Amino acid sequence: MITARNGHTKVAICAVVALLMVSMTATSLSMAEPAGKPESFTLFAVGDIGLDQLPRKNTNRYQYDKVAQLISENDPDAFLVLGDAQHNDGEIEDYLAYYDTYFNPLKDITYPVTGNHDYYVSDSADGYFEYFGTLENCAVPDMVLEETLEGVNLGYYSFDVGSWHIVALNSYLPHQCNMTDDLMPEEGSAALAQYNWLEKDLAEHSGEEYVGTIALMHHPLYDWELYYRCEWISWFDLSTQVHMWELFHEYEIDMVLSGHNHNYQRWAPQDPYGNYDPDGVRQFVVGTGGAYLWQFPPETPLDCAGEYPHGIPVDTLNNLEHVEEDYFGALELTLSEEGYEYAFVTVDGDILDKGAVICD
Ligand SMILES: [Fe+2]
């Protein structure tokens, strides 16, 4: 047992035991377990999925049918939707006409979070909550609809997978409120309600019975593009999520799974301010769900990165360990009592990034 900062106690500290940044072809994702090995769970996670046109043979767009097929064929225990399940935008009619056509067979294992395209429909993301708020389309409609403020759905909830705890967050709520000078949400806001809920939830799920914790939220705090295009700093407005990352770090959660940028990024463990920290939080960006891909721009970083509101150092970019910009696919996670394994798997079955992390 390790005593963490601020007196919080957490049972497990995870460390990388192997990081294999390789390109290789996988014919099967099945992981044979030797006799006596504790039970493990397989999860697939991806965001930025459906478009308002049916799939077609375009190498850079409309491949969400193949992503659905990849996940279905691997028969995981859970499918984590990392936001923006339906573009442009998340009207209920488009959810039913496009996303649902290919992803409804996964409904019994689907755990979603909201994305910004859900809120482009309305300030209360009506299409998202109408779709995922029913058992016809989601494993946990009651949890999706559980948290409300003045009659408006907020969309955050948590659940367990084996000995792992998962918090599903609404990263759009901070965008809807004013922030204090220290980047806390204003009093009475939905974002502050989420912050208070998150702190309580993490405190209640950090005991010895848990191996690790995962957070799901559509907007990544760290994004490769952020450091290359000054205008993205204000457009993404990612600084509004620092307060949640401070809780992640305080309670020593293991990883954050995000989307939003339509590519794959694996970051080294960091503290909330972009400093490398071997005991920090690892972030994955998996926005490769089939809508369209965004390639990384070729230009060098711009000076404005150093002016980011909460002072993320420019050399934070050094913490970006692996990127893929040309492939649709999903992140496969295998959670066990010992730690976790991860792999970025393309729709063609190629594994472009993989590794294993053990938790003491
Ligand atoms: Fe997004």
Centroid of ligand 1 to alpha carbon of 290 (angstroms):
13
118 in Cβ contact with 125 (< 8 Å): yes
Residue 303: predicted pLDDT: 54
Centroid of ligand 1 to alpha carbon of 40 (angstroms):
31
Centroid of ligand 1 to alpha carbon of 85 (angstroms):
9
Give the whole-angstrom CA distance, residue 223 versus residue 232.
10
Centroid of ligand 1 to alpha carbon of 223 (angstroms):
12
Residue 143: predicted pLDDT: 98
CA atoms 193, 195, 198, 199: torsion sign: negative
Residue 266: predicted pLDDT: 96
Centroid of ligand 1 to alpha carbon of 286 (angstroms):
11
- Hey, what CATH topology would domain 2-24+39-359 get? Purple Acid Phosphatase; chain A, domain 2 (3.60.21)
Domains of the chain, by residue range, sit at 2-24+39-359
Q: Which residue has the tokens 């989601």?
A: 138
Residue 138: predicted pLDDT: 97
Residue 25: predicted pLDDT: 32
Centroid of ligand 1 to alpha carbon of 218 (angstroms):
7
pTM: 0.89
Give the whole-angstrom CA distance, residue 284 versus residue 267.
6
Centroid of ligand 1 to alpha carbon of 287 (angstroms):
8
Centroid of ligand 1 to alpha carbon of 259 (angstroms):
7
Centroid of ligand 1 to alpha carbon of 261 (angstroms):
7
Query: Which of the residues in the chain have pLDDT under 50?
Result: 1-11, 18-34, 309
Residue 314: predicted pLDDT: 53
Upstream peptide bond of 89 is cis (omega within 30 degrees of 0): yes
Residue 305: predicted pLDDT: 52
Centroid of ligand 1 to alpha carbon of 78 (angstroms):
22
Residue 239: predicted pLDDT: 66
Centroid of ligand 1 to alpha carbon of 357 (angstroms):
28
Residue 359: predicted pLDDT: 86
Centroid of ligand 1 to alpha carbon of 278 (angstroms):
28
Centroid of ligand 1 to alpha carbon of 120 (angstroms):
10
